[in-house]
Amino acid sequence: MEKLMAALKAQIVEQLNLQEVKPEDIGDDQPLFKDGLGLDSIDALEIIVLLQQHYGIRIANPEQGPEIFRSVRTIAEFITAHQTPK
Amino acid sequence: MYIYIQGTGCVSPQETAAGNTFPAAVLPWEGPRLKAWEPDYKQWIDVKLIRRMSRVIKMGVAAAKLSLQEAGVEIPDAIITGTAYGCLDDTGVFLSKMINQQEEMLTPTAFIQSTHNTVAGQIALMLGCHAYNNTFVHKGFSFESALLDSIMILREGRSSSILAGAMDELTNHSFNILSRFDLYKKEPVTHEQLLKSTTHGTVAGEGAACFVLGTEKGPNTKAKLTGLTTLYKPAGKAEISPDITSFLAAHNCSQEEVSLVITGRNGDAAGDEWYEYVEDTLFAGKPVAGFKHLCGEYPTAASFGMWMGNRILAEQEVPAAALLKGTVPDHIKKVLIYNHYKQTHHSLILLTVC
C-alpha cells in the first residue's frame, strides 16, 4: 500500500502538472479537492484517465467519485480492491 | 469621437514585459527564430491556473493584465483578441495523444485549452468579466480585425473601455512546418543584420500585445488610435500609395503631418520592396523605424508595431535600435504604422499623440 501511494502521488503531480508541489508534500489522508490540495473537476477527469492508463481501472459508477478521490489513500484502496491480478 | 489608448501591455522577444516600457537594450539573437522573453507569470496568474496554461495563454494573459493595470481598468466592457495560430502547443499535445492512444483515454486539459478563443476566455474567467468576448482568426488580419471590432463597438457607444489584443506562439512543430514553406532565412542572421538583408526570407517570431481602448482619456493615456484600415492583396506597389494617401486624408492628416513611419520591414527582399517604395514615393526624407528585428515575423506582429508606436508617442523618443533612417522631430505628433504579412495582408494604423 505504501509503495502504491508513493507511486500515485508522483503520477498525480506529473499528470496534473502541480508545479509547486512535490509528491512527498501530499499527505496520505490529505483531502485532494477544495481546501485540501485544491484540485477541481478537470483534475478529477485527469485522475480518471490516470487510473485507466496506469492501472487499467474504470470507474463504473460516477457517483462513487467523491468517495474514491477523497485522498491518495482512498484511491490506493480502490485500486487494490479492483485491480485484476496479473 | 476619439479612441484613446488607455493602457498597453506586451510580451515579446524583448524585455517589454518588464516595466512595460521600451527596453534600454535589445536582447541579441541569432538564427531564424526569436523566442519570447517571458516574465515571472506568477505576479499576474494564480499558480493553480498557470499549471494548465501553455505559453501563448500565459503571454496573452500577462499582456492583458499589464494593459489593464496601466489603464486602471479592473473589468473592461469587452474582450476582443486576434490570433492566427491560436493555442498551437495544446493543439499539438491533444492531436499527438489522439494518434498515440488510438483516440482513447484522452485527457481534457489540452483539448479545453487548444481552441483559438482560449486566451480571451481565460482573461474573462480570471477577471470575472461576463461581457462581449470575441476572437478573430483571420490570418494576417487577425489583430486588425480585433481592433476594427473594438473601434466599431466604441463608436456605437456600447462600451467605454475595451481590452483588445493579439497573440501568437511559435512551437517546434509550427516552426518546422513554416520552415518548409520557405519563409525563413537559410543563412545565419543577427538583429543588426536582418533589416539590411537583401536575400529571401525572414526570421520567425512570436508575442502578445494588448491595449485598453476607450472613449475617454485614462490616467496614463498618451495617444489616440486615429485610424485603421486593411488592404487585401493590392495589385502592386503602385496601388498602395494612393491607398495610403486616401487613408491619411480620411483622417484629416497630410503626409507632411506624419512625424514617423513605422514599417513592418522584415529582411525579406521581395517583401521589403513594398516598404521601400512607400518610403521613397510618399515619405521621402521622413524618419522611418522598424520593429521586426525586435519581435520577428508572425501574422499578428502589427500588434508589436502598434505597442512600439504608442511607446514612442508616450516617451517622445524613438529608440536607437528601432530607428532605421532619418531625423526624428522634437515633437512626435503622428505615427503611421504600415505593415504587411507575406505581401497579401496590408494594414495601416495611425496614432496621434494626446
Residue with cell 501530499: A26
Query: Could you tell me where the DSSP H helices lie in A16-84?
Result: 41-55, 65-68, 72-82
Binary contact (B52, A42; C-beta < 8 A): yes
Binary contact (A18, B51; C-beta < 8 A): yes
- Looking at the fold, whether B172 and B239 belong to one and the same domain comes out as no
- Looking at the fold, whether B227 and B210 belong to one and the same domain comes out as no
- Looking at the fold, whether B151 and B245 belong to one and the same domain comes out as no
Q: Amino acid identity, residue B3?
A: I
For residue B43, the tally of other CB atoms under 10 A from its CB is: 10
- Please give the ipTM for the structure prediction: 0.80
Question: All 3 cell numbers of residue A37?
Answer: 490540495
Percentage of residues in chain B having pLDDT higher than 90: 89
Orientation angle between helical segments B88-100 and B55-71, nearest 10 degrees: 160
DSSP conformation class of B113: T
- Looking at the fold, whether B183 and B229 belong to one and the same domain comes out as no
**How many residues make up chain B in this entry?**
354
Of B25, B30, B37, the C-alpha closest to B63 is B37
pLDDT classification of B311: cutoffs 50, 70, 90: very high
Contact B16, B10 (CB under 8 A): yes
Please compute the mean of the pLDDT values over residues B315-326 and round it to a whole number: 95
Q: Which of A18, A46, A53 sits opposite B108 (nearest CB)?
A: A46
Residue with cell 501591455: B9
Query: Could you tell me where the DSSP H helices lie in chain B?
Result: 47-50, 55-71, 88-100, 108-112, 118-127, 142-156, 172-180, 237-250, 269-281, 292-295, 302-315
What is the rounded CA–CA span in Å between residue B185 and residue B196?
A: 13
Query: CATH number of the domain at A2-82, out of 1.10.630.10, 1.10.1200.10, 2.60.120.1440, 3.60.15.10?
Result: 1.10.1200.10
What are the C-alpha distances in Å from B135 to residues B88, B146, B294, B342, B350? 15, 7, 26, 22, 23
What is the rounded CA–CA span in Å between residue B22 and residue B72?
A: 20
A interface toward B at CB cutoff 8 Å?
Answer: 15-20, 38, 42, 45-46, 49, 52-53
Please compute the mean of the pLDDT values over residues B94-115 and round it to a whole number: 89
* Range(s) of the domain holding residue B104: 4-214
What are the C-alpha distances in Å from B226 to residues B303, B316, B330? 15, 18, 21
Q: Which of A18, A20, A46 sits opposite B107 (nearest CB)?
A: A46
pLDDT, one tens digit per residue, over A14-68 is 999 998 899 999 999 999 998 888 899 899 999 999 999 899 998 888 788 889 9
- Looking at the fold, whether B278 and B306 belong to one and the same domain comes out as yes
Task: Show which of B189, B214, B239 is a domain's final residue.
Answer: B214
Give the pLDDT of residue A86: 57
Of B307, B90, B321, the C-alpha closest to B208 is B307
pLDDT, one tens digit per residue, over B37-83 is 999 999 999 888 899 999 999 999 999 999 999 999 999 999 999 99
Binary contact (B51, A17; C-beta < 8 A): yes
pLDDT, one tens digit per residue, over B197-243 is 999 999 999 999 999 999 999 999 999 999 999 999 999 999 999 99
CATH number at B236 reads: 3.40.47.10
- Looking at the fold, whether B198 and B230 belong to one and the same domain comes out as no
pTM (2 d.p.): 0.93
Write phi, then psi, for B289 (nearest 5 degrees): -120, 160
Binary contact (B51, A19; C-beta < 8 A): yes
Residue with cell 511559435: B170
What is the rounded CA–CA span in Å between residue A46 and residue B29?
A: 39
pLDDT, one tens digit per residue, over B177-195 is 999 999 999 999 999 999 9
- Looking at the fold, whether B65 and B160 belong to one and the same domain comes out as yes
Task: Show which of B163, B194, B214 is a domain's final residue.
Answer: B214
- Looking at the fold, whether B82 and B190 belong to one and the same domain comes out as yes
Helix (H, G, I), strand (E, B) or coil at B23: coil
- Looking at the fold, whether B171 and B272 belong to one and the same domain comes out as no
Distance of alpha carbon B168 from its chain centroid, rounded?
Answer: 9
Please check whether residue B233 touches A, CB under 8 A: no
- Looking at the fold, whether B323 and B199 belong to one and the same domain comes out as no
- Looking at the fold, whether B314 and B170 belong to one and the same domain comes out as no
**For residue B50, which residues of chain A lie inside 8 Å, CB to CB?**
19
Please check whether residue B35 touches A, CB under 8 A: no
DSSP conformation class of B78: E
- A vs B, Cβ pairs < 8 A, gives 24
- Looking at the fold, whether B249 and B121 belong to one and the same domain comes out as no
Instruction: State the total domains in chain B.
Output: 2
Helix (H, G, I), strand (E, B) or coil at B35: coil
Q: B334-341 and B323-325: which strand pairing?
A: unpaired
Q: How are strands ordered across the β-sheet holding B78-82?
A: B132-136, B78-82, B161-168, B207-214, B4-11, B223-232, B345-353, B334-341, B260-263, B288-290, B323-325
Question: All 3 cell numbers of residue A23?
Answer: 509528491
Give the pLDDT of residue B19: 79
Task: Show which of B214, B241, B263 is a domain's final residue.
Answer: B214
Delimit the domains of chain A by residue range: 2-82
